[in-house]
Amino acid sequence: MIAFSSKIPNSIRWLYLFSLFSFLCSPIALAEQAAKITQTDVNVDPVSGLVIKSGSSSFELHFATWLRADLQKSSSSSTQGSYSVPLARPLIQANFLDSQLQFLVQPEFAGKNPSLLDLQLEWVPNPIFRVRIGQFRTPFSRAFITPIVRLQLADRGAVVSRFSLGRDTGAMIYGESPQHRFEYAVGVFNGATIDSLDGNRLTPMLVVRTGVNFGTAAPYDQAPSLESDSPSGVAVGLGGAYRKRNVTLSDGSLVLEESWNATTDITFMQGPFSITGEGFLKVSRTPFNWDTGLGAFIQSGIFLWPRAIELGARAGWFSDNDKQQSYEGFVTGFWNTSQRSLGHHLKTTLVYRFNRINLPTAPISNSHELLLQTQMWF
């Protein structure tokens, strides 16, 4: 795990990440030289990124970014507008022994404090049994382990942000049966946040997930008909986790929290239409009391023009100390060329979002948001 102290200047953090990125990218120059004297293929494509292949090994470089314009109006403030780049992520992957051994690193350069998101090593002897170690997304929520570049809307939503267990450092075994009918994942993690080296984890966190597909296997892609002409199937998943750690209260004090987490999800797809929903339960215990958190969301989309225009909506609700309702509508345009479909690699999404937040110590607050976001992923 890599942690950044708040006492380290941002310039030093950037220099550190740039040095790490440059070091990991150095094989590009080496491979281009080697291509002149060995049988090495170097390909650059707007969909597959940079791919260098030599024998049983390959090297991939990808980059994803969001360009966002935002208008917000709440019951306590006037309309405010902003422009931002909330996501700027290079991804480097090296594959060896015909992809049986894989290494992946992904930092986040957007925002004031760059961070390391993923750093993992994976052994893939066969699809049924795989082993992953490092820092990566915990396999608890289907919406969270769906790659962020394959979402329908501009983000995963408030419910997933509240109940997902985020990224963590640990080890996981996972796999899927032939024809992708059944999948599973079991992981043990240290229980801390990804950029934390403090003592807030007391015991390892256990995370499990299982899923079943009926009909066409549902991909971890919220717009499945981008990849298949007529997908038709249902996917059902269950997840659970146990965590015991110290948490920081608003006054700065630490208390012991023990929590049990559960989630269930269902996804249905038929041709250009898809719908997915997920429910969450969190039961936590502190020295003071027991708390129960509940949340759920449902979202759907339909392609009005195959692989080009998608229209849809999402509704979410949670009650976990505070309460929040969220209702969203969206339309996405996928920018294609005359020769091929670019899919998620170049798209623009317009989202209208209404939030209602009910805090225990404040009046109900309503907000409206209009968001325009372009995603570029190569």
pLDDT of 198: 55
- Residue 201 has a pLDDT of 67
How far is the C-alpha of 281 from the C-alpha of 237, rounded, in Å? 14
DSSP H stretches of helix in the chain: 10-35, 142-145, 158-163
Confidence (pLDDT) at 370? 97
| 317 strand-pairing partners | 296, 325
Burial (Cβ within 10 Å: 0-12, 13-18, ≥19) of residue 10: exposed
Q: For residues 153-170, b (16+ Cβ closer than 10 Å) or e, as one string?
A: bbbbbbbbebbbbebbbb
Give residue for tokens 């990124």: 49
- Encoded tokens for 257: 């929290």
Q: CA angle, 317 as apex, 87 and 255 as ends, to 5°? A: 80
Q: DSSP per residue over 31-74, as a string?
A: HHHHHTTS-EEEEEETTTEEEEEETTEEEEEEEEEEEEEEEEEE
CB 114 within 8 A of CB 107: yes
- Per-residue tens of pLDDT for the chain, all 378 residues: 333 333 444 444 444 444 555 545 555 554 555 555 457 899 999 889 999 999 999 999 999 999 999 999 988 788 899 999 999 999 999 999 999 999 999 999 998 889 999 999 999 999 999 999 999 999 999 999 999 999 999 999 999 999 999 999 999 999 999 888 999 999 999 877 666 655 556 788 999 999 999 999 999 999 999 988 889 999 999 999 999 888 777 777 788 889 999 999 999 999 999 999 999 999 999 888 899 999 999 999 999 999 999 999 999 999 988 899 999 999 999 999 878 889 999 999 999 999 999 887 778 889 999 999 999 999
The residue among 239, 161, 168 whose CA lies nearest residue 204 is: 168
